[in-house]
Amino acid sequence: KDLGIDLTQISVAGVSAGGGLAAAMALMARDRHGPKLQGQLLICPMLDDRDQTFSTLQYADIGTWNRQSNQVGWTALLGKKKGTQGVSPYAAPSRTQDLSNLPPAFIDVSSTEIFRDEDIDYAQRIWQTGGVAELHVWPG
């Protein structure tokens, strides 16, 4: 209120690791009774530290951000916890069991990148709870 921000008009957005942070912010706002977010814009979000999806393996050595880069990124964030049961869903949003009551999500990903399958899975899990997600998987 001190900043003059209308808390009913907040959305979160991010690209890659920032997309993962935006998804985590939406989870945290819901779980900690923060502001009711209007939406989440997740562009090729980095959501899953386990690096085991088909697209992660399919594009392991292809592209600017390959599987090795992804493992370095997750290890920088999580250290030895990467890939273990001790990872918080606020660090790796794919780890959350409950994707209900989230703001509408716009998820955008390429068909030829390692994040493809974790992003598709995230959208599907939102839909399974009755939530709203618009998913775009672009060729190439």
Rounded CA-CA distance 108/41 in Å is 8
Cβ–Cβ < 8 Å for 16, 10:
no
Confirm whether pTM is higher than 0.85.
yes
pLDDT in tens, 104-119: 999 999 999 999 999 9
- Domains of the chain are 9-138 (3.40.50.1820)
pLDDT in tens, 77-99: 999 999 999 999 999 999 999 99
> Rounded mean pLDDT of the chain?
96
Rounded CA-CA distance 119/46 in Å is 8
Contacts of 111 (CB under 8 A, 6+ apart): 137, 138, 139, 140
